[in-house]
Structure formats: C-alpha cells, structure tokens
C-alpha cells in the first residue's frame, strides 16, 4: 500500500523504466540477490525479469530497430499462442482442463515471486512454502466438489478417491488449519520460544495439560446435563400453522441414552461393566480436545496481529478485558471446527432437502426416479412386486 502513495508523484517512471528495460536487464540479471545487499530503504524492490526472448528470434530480427523488433516478437508470439490454444481445443476437454490448471499455477508463481521479492527483506519465514501449500488447499477444496459431481462413478470405485470425496470438507479444513498453524508458528516462534523458556516452562506445560483434561471432563459432564433438555438438543423450526419459531422434537439418536461397554481396564477399576451415555458425549471429547489443543492458535494469531500493529487490545469495549475481539479470538477457529465436525460426522443426508430437489425436477425425471426407487426398494424387500 505504501507504494500507491509514493507512486502518486512519479507515475511516469514506470513508462520510462519499460523503455530502458533492455539495457537495465544486463546489469540486473540477478536482481533478487542484489536487493539483499542494498541498505533497506523501506521500499519494496521487485527485480526486473530477465529478457527471455528465444535466441533464434533475437538472431533473425537482429537487423531491426528495438521498436520494430519488439513489434515482430509480440506478433509472432501472439500467433504462436493462438495456434497453441487451437491445438489444445482440438485435443479435447481433458487437455483443456489440464492447461487451465497449468495457467493457474504459472500465474500464482508469477504473483508469489513478486510477493517474495518484496517481503524477502522482512524475513517472513516459509513465505514461498506456505504460499504453495495454500494453493494446494484451495485446489483440493474447489476441485474436490466438481470432480465428485462429474465423475461420481469413478470416485466411488476407487477407495482413496472415495475417502477424499466423502470427508472433503473435513480434509479441506484440516489442510487450511495446518497451514494457518504453520503461519502463526512461523510468525510467533521467536516470541513464544522466549516466553516458554524464560517464564517457567514447567508451569506452562502443566497448565496446558491440566487445561486439556479439565476441558474434556467438563465437556463430558456439561453435555450430559444439557442433553437432557429438548431446548438444547432440538433444531429451531419455523411452524407455518402457528406462524412462529419452535424448538420441540423427539431428540435424535445422538441425544438418547445408550449403554456402552467399558474397556477391561476401566471395568476392573470402576467395577461397572457398562456406562449409560448420550452418544453426543463421545463427540464432546473431540470438540473439547480441539478447543484446548487448537483453539490457542486463534489467540496466538490475534497476539501476532496486535504486536504487528503495536497495540495491547483490539479496542476498549469491555473495561478490564479489551475489545470484543480480544474475548472471541479463539471462537472463530472453534466455530469453524464445530461446523465442519457436524457436517462430517453428525449430520446425515437431509431427507427434506432431497424431497425439495426431487420436486424441482421435470415430471418425466420424477417418474424415472420413482421407477428406479421402486425397483431398488423391491430388491431390498421393502416393497412387494405387484407387477
């Protein structure tokens, strides 16, 4: 952003620079390493890319003036690109998709190269590694759904593909989260290493481990209490008859007490062969574990942010506590995890939604589906074959 202000007065430099490009390149072939040795002026320095005109073109056009040479190079490459894309289209949609992927990767590489050159001097660690890693995450996230939609049969048949598709949301989240934690660690590493070793590391680890176990135990107990009230376990629904929102239902299996056999070691300790639990209590262990193991990274990130802007708190909304953001820094990570966890492990397919989509189809498509559903249900013995 600094640049926008500085450029204001010297807008024409850009165009002058491009005119001088040929001669500058020779001296600046290794711009990146050169900028390291210069004293840091606070302004990012992007090296001028080396001239990659093929030797054969340079030779063929050596008799021409710089302007005409450039015109010919541009024209020839334009024709080459157009021909290349015709060939791609001729080779069919799979090759086209592959080229789109390549173009995307190459564009990304060009942009992070610029970013790297600019932020290089600030020693942002793992900048390039993390950038490429996030490109991978984004591609998995976006291609994942499309590939499943298009090639459902192929995906179902190949076990690794099936897993990648079934837990698509969870895996995407785990990938992003890993990148996020690595980014935070790379930023705060120096600072927290100091804090961990200087300020009684034993106490910190005891607190961390103690916090983990107490969160898990508290979660199991609290979810036992809360699972007993339909207020906490039923979805809000809009009731058209009463024209109001209602919270009332037969609790799902998740909130019905069940007997669980205890492992032998625990059985001998307690004397109980089984315990009665709500299945949700098992899930509460995952949620508590995430809250105490991963939640802190939201706080670390907020600390890094605040340190970068030289502020102690985000605001002063709550006296003695700081801003609302200071109290909710971990909640954003946790809320996302809960959403992904519910979608991946708890919520099954929604029959009401399937019916909506079914009724949105053309009548002949509905009839087709009706007939295949009929034969499927006859096969499974749920319907009698009257034909």
Considering only residues 242-271, where is the footprint of a copy of itself by CB under 8 A? 245, 247
Q: Which stretch binds a copy of itself (CB under 8 A): 130-138, 174-182, 239-247, 289-297?
A: 239-247
Window 64-93: residues binding a copy of itself (CB under 8 A): 70, 73-78, 81, 92-93
- Output the smallest distance, CB 284 to a copy of itself, in A: 17
Distances (CA, A) of 38 to 23, 41, 49: 21, 8, 18
Query: Contact, 318 vs 327, CB < 8 A?
Result: yes
Q: Which stretch binds a copy of itself (CB under 8 A): 207-215, 249-257, 283-291, 377-385?
A: 377-385
Residue 42 or 263: the one with the smaller Cβ distance to a copy of itself is 42
Distances (CA, A) of 382 to 22, 40, 55, 196, 366: 79, 76, 74, 63, 20
| Alpha carbons 333 and 291: distance in angstroms, whole number | 9
Which residues contact residue 353 at a Cβ distance below 8 angstroms, ignoring those fewer than 6 apart? Answer: none
Q: Under DSSP, is residue 239 helix (H, G, I), strand (E, B) or coil?
A: strand
- Output the smallest distance, CB 287 to a copy of itself, in A: 17
Window 154-173: residues binding a copy of itself (CB under 8 A): 154, 157
User: Is residue 375 involved in binding a copy of itself (CB under 8 A)?
Assistant: no
Among 13, 34, 158, 248, which residue interacts with a copy of itself (rule: CB under 8 A)? Answer: 13
Residue 80 is encoded by which pair of tokens? 């080459």
Residue 203 or 353: the one with the smaller Cβ distance to a copy of itself is 353
Q: Which stretch binds a copy of itself (CB under 8 A): 146-154, 168-176, 252-260, 291-299?
A: 146-154
Query: Contact, 237 vs 246, CB < 8 A?
Result: yes
User: Is residue 95 involved in binding a copy of itself (CB under 8 A)?
Assistant: no
Residues constituting the chain: 387
End-to-end CA distance of the chain: 74
| Alpha carbons 34 and 242: distance in angstroms, whole number | 74
User: Is residue 346 involved in binding a copy of itself (CB under 8 A)?
Assistant: no
Residue 53 or 270: the one with the smaller Cβ distance to a copy of itself is 53
Residue 162 or 275: the one with the smaller Cβ distance to a copy of itself is 162
Residue 342 is encoded by which pair of tokens? 């519910």
- Output the smallest distance, CB 147 to a copy of itself, in A: 10
Q: Tokens 């939604």 label which residue?
A: 353
Q: Binding string, 308-327, against a copy of itself, x = CB under 8 A? A: xxxxxxxxxxxxxx-xxx-x
Q: Which stretch binds a copy of itself (CB under 8 A): 197-205, 215-223, 250-258, 368-376?
A: 368-376
* CA-CA-CA-CA torsion sign (110, 115, 116, 121): positive
Query: Contact, 200 vs 218, CB < 8 A?
Result: no
Residue 252 or 267: the one with the smaller Cβ distance to a copy of itself is 252
Window 21-60: residues binding a copy of itself (CB under 8 A): 21, 42, 44, 46, 48-54, 57
User: Is residue 189 involved in binding a copy of itself (CB under 8 A)?
Assistant: no
Q: Among residues 167, 177, 161, 169, which one has the least CA distance to residue 142?
A: 169
User: Is residue 336 involved in binding a copy of itself (CB under 8 A)?
Assistant: no
* CA-CA-CA-CA torsion sign (315, 318, 321, 326): negative
Q: Which stretch binds a copy of itself (CB under 8 A): 197-205, 265-273, 291-299, 361-369?
A: 361-369
Which residues contact residue 247 at a Cβ distance below 8 angstroms, ignoring those fewer than 6 apart? Answer: 230, 231, 234, 235, 236, 237
């Amino acid at each position: 952003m600094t640049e926008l202000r500085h450029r204001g007065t010297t807008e024409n430099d850009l165009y002058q620079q491009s005119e001088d490009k040929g001669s500058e390149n020779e001296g600046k072939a290794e711009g990146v390493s050169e900028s390291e040795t210069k004293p840091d002026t606070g302004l990012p320095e992007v090296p001028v890319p080396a001239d990659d005109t093929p030797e054969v073109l340079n030779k063929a056009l050596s008799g021409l003036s710089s302007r005409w040479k450039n015109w010919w190079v541009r024209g020839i490459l334009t024709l080459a690109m157009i021909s290349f894309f015709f060939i791609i289209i001729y080779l069919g949609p799979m090759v086209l998709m592959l080229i789109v992927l390549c173009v995307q990767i190459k564009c990304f590489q060009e942009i992070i190269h610029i970013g790297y050159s600019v932020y290089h001097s600030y020693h942002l660690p793992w900048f390039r590694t993390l950038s490429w890693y996030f490109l991978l995450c984004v591609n998995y996230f976006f291609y994942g759904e499309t590939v499943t939609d298009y090639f459902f049969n192929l995906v179902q048949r190949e076990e690794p593909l099936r897993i990648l598709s079934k837990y698509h949301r969870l895996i995407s989240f785990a990938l992003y989260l890993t990148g996020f934690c690595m980014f935070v660690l790379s930023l705060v590493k120096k600072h927290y290493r100091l804090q961990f070793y200087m300020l009684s590391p034993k106490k910190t680890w005891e607190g961390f481990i103690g916090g983990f176990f107490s969160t898990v135990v508290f979660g199991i107990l609290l979810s036992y209490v809360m699972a007993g009230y339909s207020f906490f376990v039923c979805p809000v629904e809009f009731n058209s008859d009463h024209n109001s929102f209602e919270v009332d239902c037969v609790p799902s299996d998740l909130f019905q007490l069940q007997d669980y056999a205890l492992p032998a070691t625990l059985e001998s300790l307690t004397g109980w062969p089984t315990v009665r639990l709500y299945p949700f209590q098992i899930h509460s262990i995952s949620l508590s574990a995430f809250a105490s193991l991963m939640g802190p990274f939201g706080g670390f990130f907020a600390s890094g942010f605040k340190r970068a802007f030289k502020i102690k708190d985000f605001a002063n909304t709550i006296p003695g506590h700081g801003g609302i953001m200071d109290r909710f820094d971990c909640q954003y990570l946790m809320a996302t995890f809960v959403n992904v966890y519910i979608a991946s492990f708890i919520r099954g397919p929604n029959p009401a939604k399937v019916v909506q989509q079914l009724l949105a189809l053309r009548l002949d498509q509905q009839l087709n589906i009706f007939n295949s559903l009929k034969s499927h249900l006859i096969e499974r013995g749920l319907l009698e074959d009257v034909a």
